Amino acid sequence: SYVLTQPPSVSVAPGQTAKITCEGNNIGSKSVHWYQQKPGQAPVLVVFDDSDRPSGIPERFSGSNSGNTATLTLSRVEAGDEAAYYCQLWDSNTDHHVLFGGGTKLTVL
């Protein structure tokens, strides 16, 4: 079955750039979406269709997807960006239909 692999944790200093990856076989051929989840809160969509941003999401959040890796990039990281980030896709070829990556905890140093 299809698997999405994310690093468990990423650390970055304020003002720097954080890159969170999501690996899957030929993931570049699929649409990938990203969610931010802060402790005790529901997830929030931050990037959809690889690189589009919902209204209200800062331009500092961007996404890309090619080959076997999709990437969420956070520029000029702020303390408030500290959260878990999940990639997600819909794969009609699997019984799971919807897959989530295991999540990456972003720590702002």
Partner 1 sequence: QVQLVQSGTEVKNRGASVKVSCKASGYMFGSNGISWARQAPGQGLEWVGWISPHNGDTKYAEKFQGRVTMTTDISTNTAYMELRTLRSDDTAVYYCARVFGVDHFDSWGQGTLVVVSS
Chain contacts with partner 1 (rule: CB under 8 A):
31, 33, 35, 37, 42-45, 48-49, 54, 84, 86, 88-90, 95-103
Strands (E) in the chain, as ranges, are: 9-12, 18-23, 33-37, 44-47, 61-66, 69-74, 83-91, 97-100, 104-108
75 or 100: CB nearest partner 1: 100
Q: How far is the CB of 39 from partner 1 (least distance, A)?
A: 11
Beta bridge partners of 88: 33, 100
Shortest distance (Å) from residue 90 CB to partner 1: 3
Largest CA distance in the chain: 41
Nearer residue to partner 1 within complex by CB, 52 or 78: 52
Q: Which is nearer to partner 1, 37 or 69 (CB)?
A: 37
Q: What's the CA gap between 108 and 82, in Å, rounded?
A: 6
